[in-house]
Structure 1
Amino acid sequence: MSQQQVEAAADEPAAAQDPTEPAPRSPREIRLVMVGLVVTMLLAMLDNLIVGTAMPTIVGDLGGAEHLSWVVTAYTLATAASTPIWGKLGDLLGRKGTFLTSIVIFLVGSALSGLSQTMGQLIAFRAVQGLGAGGLMVGVMSIMGALIPPRDRGKYQGMFAAVMALATIGGPLIGGFITDHLSWHWTFYINLPLGIVALAVVVVTLHLPKVRTKAKIDYLGALLLTVGITSLVLITTWGGQQYAWGSKEILGLGALAAATLIGFCYVEQRVEEPMLPLGLFKNRNFAAVSVIGFIVGFAMFGAVTFLPLYQQTVQGASATNSGLLLMPMMFGMLVISLVVGQAITKTGKYRIYPIIGTAVMAGGSLLLSTLGTDTSRFTSACYMIVLGAGMGFLMQVTMLVAQNSVELKDMGVASSTATLFRTIGGSFGVALFGAIFTSRVTSTMKDRLGAAGAAKGGGKGSLSSMSPEALRKLDPRVQDAYHHAVSNGIHTVFLWGAVISLVAVAAALFLREVALRGSGSGEKAEPQLEAV
């Protein structure tokens, strides 16, 4: 039993408010706080997209191209490993304080990254930045959960879907503009004014109940979970790229991940205040949406990674406008997310949307598996809209169900767990789909051109450097073979994506319609800790 006690601030009578429910807020107060939350989410999502376009320039300035992948890996590792820790610290020590701390750490990391003079410094400071980033998304979602009852949360979901679309489309464009007209240092400095705005708004407008707890922080659990998550991310980052899947390095990381995660589960069942209460997974809805979130990350990051490659190499789209290539998918996601959010607020019903969403996502993946060398951009855009629509049914609903499945005191853990499953799913998706794609491209090149063709267009090293400009300089026969190879790779990736999405359909069918807290009728939610 947790010793955490939530005491209302002096100007908010504690007796009048059920501690399991968000305190009533005026529409004006919520709108003001949402400004800070939206800016913070934009900050979190823009960073990697802006920095990605500047990486060639950064390498040219700092050198150390052999360590280029670590600029991304250090950030990703720190973000994934710190996400569940930020969520639990918010529950124990107060969400506002931990949220502000994560923003400050992110801004310090951004400033130091911009000041970097060597690749080693940049990698280290990117890790600091990632450590703060782990708390940004979790903080936004858990604070939203503490402020707004689940029934009313749908009205605000569209804002976050819009931020995601804006970041995906605008990030590469902003990064390219900054790199060309200012310097790569400003791809990090641009975070500072946005972060200062978010800090100021949150400090002034956000008022949450004070938290006082005597429970000890689960340091051992945090350590084991961090090592386990880090090992998993390194496996998916290095496997099939830097090291062979059967190498001693990858197998060693797999053994380390298994040992630490088993140890984590053992510890969590015995400590007073576990970092991640395993009892949450006894809740049928929480377990189901965790599986769905994992697969959504799997499908989304796979699409974001491989669709631009197909459109640039096979359809001849411009690489400089790569952010625009995903606009149809983001448009479908945004529109459906807005509609679903309003419908949930109006009716209080949500179970049907994950079922529809997972089915549509599977259908969109199946449609994208039919892309070929002669598929028009209009046709591929229509298929992307279908995939985006499926994700629109799921992106915010999975977080809503996860938060509605726990008590208010565990809002941070629920938010961080949902975010973590989506992040790990994306990491595994890119790794698995990357291995499938590379294998398929290599075999197709061999079939069409023989072993020499595989060396030209299908080898691991050449795939990473086969830019559209370089491709146009090759022999037309090699170009044609490579177009077919990429198309076959896309076909296989999305066919597997459709199959994996069926697991999400099955998980969605297990969801139960539990009344959303704060419903308009004033009805109380059913007890949430139901058995699976």
Structure 2
Amino acid sequence: MESKDTVLDAQAATDHHHGKHYTHLPQRSVLAVFVGLVIAMVAAALDQTIVSTALPTIVGDLGGVNQMLWVTTAYVLTATVVMPVYGKVGDLVGRKGLFIFALALFTVGSVVCALASNMGMLIAGRGIQGLGGGGLMILAQAIIADVVPARDRGKYMGVMGVAFVLPMLVGPLLGGLFTDHLSWHWAFWINVPLALVAAIAAVRFLPKPQHKESLASFDVWGTVFITGAVVALVLATSWGGVRYDWDSPQIIGLFIGVAAFSALFVLAERRAKTPLMPLSIFKNRTFVLSTLAGLFVMFALMASMTYLPTFFQIVHGMNATTAGYMEIPMSVVYLVSSLVSGFLVSRSGRYKKLMIVSFALVIAGLVAMTTITQDTSVVLIVGGFLVVLGFGMGLSFEILVLIVQNEFPASEVGTVTAATNFFREVGTTLGASVAGAIFTRGLASTLSEKLASFGGLEALGVEANSITPSIVHMLPGELQRAIGGAYTDALVPMFVAMVPLAIIGTVLMLLLKEKPLAKEQAHEAAGL
């Protein structure tokens, strides 16, 4: 670890490039910064899935099965809408203070969730967590782009890909361990020490920004309009077919709102002095193709991870911890493929063929998941289907961000990284909300159908909104199997819906024009 004096020396080691400051950091300082960023990403990513195994118990305790999808959606929704804001503000005033601010917000949200005594408080806390977590994810990637050249960045991005997705994959295991051996509240308390360590690393090792610009020209209206569009989209996809019919005035009105806010956003960006998301980036073919592909990957990942632990608990009688163990094989292969892809791309400077292979594997994994029945072997699901899916996702996850960064100068890296991550999080949000809507609606109808001959749950003194794995396991064997069948029938349509998106992602990668990765480090306007 470097001393404070070393960091100050590094701050002073500035030069000029096209009239703008940039900062050189010693390799040991880069590694120290990197460790802090990885810890922050682990905390933010962990929170997207750590509740999945705890979710049946949480909503049962708080009486909110019908609000289950919002425990996940609230986090990814707020994380999504703030990503472009963090990216643009970081480019304007530097990223160190902003990174620490995001850590503070994330910690406050975690404490609110840990203390939650009702669903409203829990969902509010998840929203606050997202406001900080969205910043941690985008700023970590942007800071690495400030201090590492594109050609070498693949190695770092590979590790950061692991730091982001591996916690999402092992999160269910941790959530299960906490639920079974402590309490579900610890799924949120765990974030506090992680955030504290990351904050200490940031304060000590991140150099102060070498430039600051005024926030007076910040694109307020663009922020308002894009927030409105995302919120309307999430509400429409969450409520459609569940709370309201797809052709109801409420859902149609929300989709009209999406279109209206999007149009207003485009107008605002054309007039803004410093647009939140410059429209010029959409003229870059590589940006558009890579960003859309990343959106589809996140959609599939979030939909896959959110409800599988519930499936294992209800259908196969596992406790929360054991259901979490089911994610380990997918986690391991994801880790391997992400690291391998990072080093391969760094060595060769090429990436297109690897991306095509990645999406082909994702398609294979998703198609396999559509064949699941109540009697499908757990070994086949976990050791076969999910392994293929995880390996495919790991190959492309962080490399897609690197491809985008390689297309733009360093002064725009924060903005374009934020933009591509914004659309990834749109995919995450849609994955959670659409999958939740498909699952919730399907579960309601299949439960009614399969339990009709038993007189329904109410006849047994069980409320649908308070179903937990422990309650199901106390029921007679025939009834357990009927409920398990209902959960299985509700799960499969989610994977069916994802297959076309993975196919489109493959086509996008085929259309990608490969540009060799830059070897030099362009620290122009590095916003540390």
Q: Which amino acid aligns with 1:330?
A: S
Residues 318-397 of structure 1 aligned to structure 2 (within 5 Å): 318-380=319-381, 381-397=383-399
Sort the Cα spacing of 1:282 and 1:329 in 2 relative to 1 into closer, same or farther, 3 A.
Answer: same
Aligned to 2:223: 222
Structure 1 residue runs of 5 or longer lacking an equivalent are: 1-7, 525-532
The separation in 2 between residues aligned to 1:480 and 1:114, in whole angstroms, is: 34
Sort the Cα spacing of 1:305 and 1:114 in 2 relative to 1 into closer, same or farther, 3 A.
Answer: closer
- TM-score, L = length of structure 2: 0.84
The separation in 2 between residues aligned to 1:150 and 1:249, in whole angstroms, is: 46
Count of equivalent residues: 509
Sort the Cα spacing of 1:261 and 1:282 in 2 relative to 1 into closer, same or farther, 3 A.
Answer: same
The answer (yes or no) to whether the contact 1:113–1:121 under 8 Å persists in 2 is: yes
- TM-score, L = length of structure 1: 0.83
Moved more, 136-145 or 18-27: 18-27
Sort the Cα spacing of 1:506 and 1:301 in 2 relative to 1 into closer, same or farther, 3 A.
Answer: same
CA RMSD of superposed structures (Å): 3.6
The separation in 2 between residues aligned to 1:313 and 1:219, in whole angstroms, is: 46
Structure 2 residue runs of 5 or longer lacking an equivalent are: 1-8, 523-528
The answer (yes or no) to whether the contact 1:21–1:518 under 8 Å persists in 2 is: no
CA positional deviation for 1:518 = 2.4
The separation in 1 between residues aligned to 2:436 and 2:448, in whole angstroms, is: 18
- For the pair 1:160 / 2:153, whether they are aligned, the reply is no
Aligned to 1:98: 98
The separation in 1 between residues aligned to 2:279 and 2:158, in whole angstroms, is: 31
SS in 2 for 1:374: coil
Aligned to 1:139: 139
Sort the Cα spacing of 1:357 and 1:22 in 2 relative to 1 into closer, same or farther, 3 A.
Answer: farther
The separation in 2 between residues aligned to 1:18 and 1:197, in whole angstroms, is: 36
Deviations 1:376-419 (A, max 9, x none): 22221211111111101111111111222222122222222222
Residues 414-429 of structure 1 aligned to structure 2 (within 5 Å): 414-429=416-431
SS in 2 for 1:14: strand
The separation in 2 between residues aligned to 1:332 and 1:319, in whole angstroms, is: 22
Q: Which amino acid aligns with 1:374?
A: D
CA positional deviation for 1:260 = 0.9
The separation in 2 between residues aligned to 1:437 and 1:70, in whole angstroms, is: 13
CA positional deviation for 1:485 = 5.1
Q: Which amino acid aligns with 1:308?
A: P
Moved more, 38-47 or 118-127: 118-127
The answer (yes or no) to whether the contact 2:80–2:429 under 8 Å persists in 1 is: no
Sort the Cα spacing of 1:437 and 1:185 in 2 relative to 1 into closer, same or farther, 3 A.
Answer: closer
The answer (yes or no) to whether the contact 1:21–1:149 under 8 Å persists in 2 is: no
Residues 42-441 of structure 1 aligned to structure 2 (within 5 Å): 42-51=42-51, 72-114=72-114, 121-164=121-164, 166-168=166-168, 170-178=170-178, 186-207=186-207, 210-214=210-214, 216-380=217-381, 381-437=383-439
SS in 2 for 1:211: coil
Deviations 1:322-370 (A, max 9, x none): 2222222222211111111111111111111211111111111112222
The answer (yes or no) to whether the contact 1:233–1:427 under 8 Å persists in 2 is: yes
Q: Which amino acid aligns with 1:226?
A: T
The answer (yes or no) to whether the contact 1:455–1:462 under 8 Å persists in 2 is: no
Same amino acid, percent of matched pairs? 37
Sort the Cα spacing of 1:68 and 1:350 in 2 relative to 1 into closer, same or farther, 3 A.
Answer: closer
The separation in 1 between residues aligned to 2:441 and 2:115, in whole angstroms, is: 40
Deviations 1:279-333 (A, max 9, x none): 1111111000111011101211121134334433444443333222222222221
SS in 2 for 1:210: coil
The answer (yes or no) to whether the contact 1:39–1:194 under 8 Å persists in 2 is: yes
Q: Which amino acid aligns with 2:108?
A: V
